[in-house]
Structure 1
């Protein structure tokens, strides 16, 4: 008698699930739709819906001229790239040590890493600023990214992934003459690609949109990212021009939106394979 085939459990969504999904989708899409409407129409149509309203790109031109957006885009790109590179290197080494090496205090050290997940970054603003000031890094991109170089979230994800990799692969790599770093690079890292992709999405999104810490640690446009640069539009003495503000906001989030639309399938598959819900 043949064994029954194993199937993944799947429950058909109920009408209540469908309604809830539509409600959540509308709650998410309505502010974005309003932002697009306001950005592509003259200011007098920002508060009223008129299908005969003319389309215009003047709001984007005014927003681009009001702030050094080219510099802000460059700063933000350099920042997220620098932070992600440091996080991947440091977290990979730490996760590999926690997963495969036994040393005194390993469990205590990993518990301290997990404790970091419970601490809100805003609590450390004063201490981080004092540290950056002592190092002479205030108003630099390095000061924005340095406190985030070590990611407890990435260490936890990669450690769990590395622990699930059979140890026989380590032995096979040693037989072939590979050292610890070669084993890590050629065996562990390729098998953890979905986790790296999923974490990269989380890291880039967070640091692209981070506002409070960059606002505190920077003083000049030469080091400010996009999120801090947007505040120039809320300090106008003559009032707030929502058309220009929404145009500037769309320009700042456009790279993330375009990337998600182009690589939506890869994004979802990476999160599913990484076990992130």
Structure 2
């Protein structure tokens, strides 16, 4: 009898105030996007005012593409996020499997240190990371941008929790079939953790595609700079700020992530729900 009220409360429909708050938050997020799209597809004289019959143009995108080596920036960014994600998945899988299935001295302490890393903001490590990259001669390279992120505490934590929920009987069955520890990991554990890999991959790609401060600090030339750093060329104080070309460049930078989300939003949501990420 005591559980009935709580169960009814859990499935209450949202109130009018909840709906209004949701609409206000949605407007706060969508209005800047609407302005960006409007400005990018219209001539500069329409950047500060809405004229519904104003002619559309693609000239801003052409000007933005010619003003900066976008092809190189796209290549750098793609290589960077692929390199980081591949290293994170491999290293985190091995670490999570060790934490979940092996008994060794100092295991709990080591895992506690992994959890502590989750509380440390990456910006706090900028100086030490720069000194490390400089000492090994990696400044101004894609490897310098990605190396500090190769080990992911979040991925280790999520995969460890998932591996702990897999019955140990599957290990025993695989061993009886003659599978080694690595074969058991890649053929049993990894397929069962697919939603976790998808969910973490989305987080990792989105973060490193949009990361700005660390690539700005550790790179000096076009050869290693990603898209976010390349956008600086459009905000020169000496030449003035042209919002039409800036918004066009911003749309080109964010377009891959936006298109991917629109095409695979159902898979995105399902992966996050299965992974337990809130």
Scaled to the shorter chain, the TM-score interval is over 0.9
Is 1:43 the counterpart of 2:44? The answer is: yes
Looking at structure 2, the residues matched to 206 and 53 of structure 1 have their Cα atoms a distance apart, in angstroms, of 36
Looking at structure 2, the residues matched to 75 and 117 of structure 1 have their Cα atoms a distance apart, in angstroms, of 27
Is 1:164 the counterpart of 2:139? The answer is: no
The farther-off stretch of 44-53 and 252-261 is 44-53
Q: CA deviation at 1:183?
A: 0.7
Looking at structure 2, the residues matched to 79 and 185 of structure 1 have their Cα atoms a distance apart, in angstroms, of 25
Looking at structure 1, the residues matched to 57 and 199 of structure 2 have their Cα atoms a distance apart, in angstroms, of 37
Match of residue 3 from structure 2: none
Q: CA deviation at 1:11?
A: 3.8
Question: What are the superposed Cα offsets for residues 40-64 of structure 1, whole Å, 9 maximum, x if unpaired?
Answer: 0010110001112111111000000
Looking at structure 1, the residues matched to 11 and 71 of structure 2 have their Cα atoms a distance apart, in angstroms, of 48
Q: CA deviation at 1:236?
A: 4.6
Q: CA deviation at 1:25?
A: 1.2
Looking at structure 1, the residues matched to 270 and 18 of structure 2 have their Cα atoms a distance apart, in angstroms, of 22
Paired positions, count: 271
Structure 1: state its 5+ residue gaps. 1-6
Looking at structure 2, the residues matched to 47 and 97 of structure 1 have their Cα atoms a distance apart, in angstroms, of 57
Q: CA deviation at 1:262?
A: 0.2
TM-score normalized by the length of structure 2 = 0.95
Match of residue 83 from structure 1: 84
Match of residue 3 from structure 1: none
The farther-off stretch of 234-243 and 104-113 is 234-243
Looking at structure 2, the residues matched to 157 and 16 of structure 1 have their Cα atoms a distance apart, in angstroms, of 35
Q: CA deviation at 1:238?
A: 2.8
TM-score normalized by the length of structure 1 = 0.96
Q: 1:226-265, aligned counterparts within 5 Å?
A: 226-265=227-266
Looking at structure 2, the residues matched to 10 and 260 of structure 1 have their Cα atoms a distance apart, in angstroms, of 29
Q: 1:4-15, aligned counterparts within 5 Å?
A: 10-15=11-16
Question: What are the superposed Cα offsets for residues 213-259 of structure 1, whole Å, 9 maximum, x if unpaired?
Answer: 00000000010000000001111513100000000000000000000
Match of residue 4 from structure 1: none
Looking at structure 1, the residues matched to 14 and 176 of structure 2 have their Cα atoms a distance apart, in angstroms, of 50
Classify the secondary structure of the residue corresponding to 2:57: coil
Match of residue 186 from structure 2: 185
Q: CA deviation at 1:12?
A: 2.7
Classify the secondary structure of the residue corresponding to 2:139: coil
Looking at structure 1, the residues matched to 192 and 11 of structure 2 have their Cα atoms a distance apart, in angstroms, of 27
Is 1:34 the counterpart of 2:35? The answer is: yes
Q: 1:1-277, aligned counterparts within 5 Å?
A: 10-277=11-278
Aligned CA RMSD, in angstroms, stands at 1.3
Structure 2: state its 5+ residue gaps. 1-6
Classify the secondary structure of the residue corresponding to 1:261: helix
Classify the secondary structure of the residue corresponding to 1:48: coil
Looking at structure 2, the residues matched to 49 and 64 of structure 1 have their Cα atoms a distance apart, in angstroms, of 25
| Change in CA separation of 1:70 and 1:236 when aligned onto 2, cut-off 3 Å | farther
Looking at structure 1, the residues matched to 12 and 92 of structure 2 have their Cα atoms a distance apart, in angstroms, of 37
Q: CA deviation at 1:176?
A: 1.1
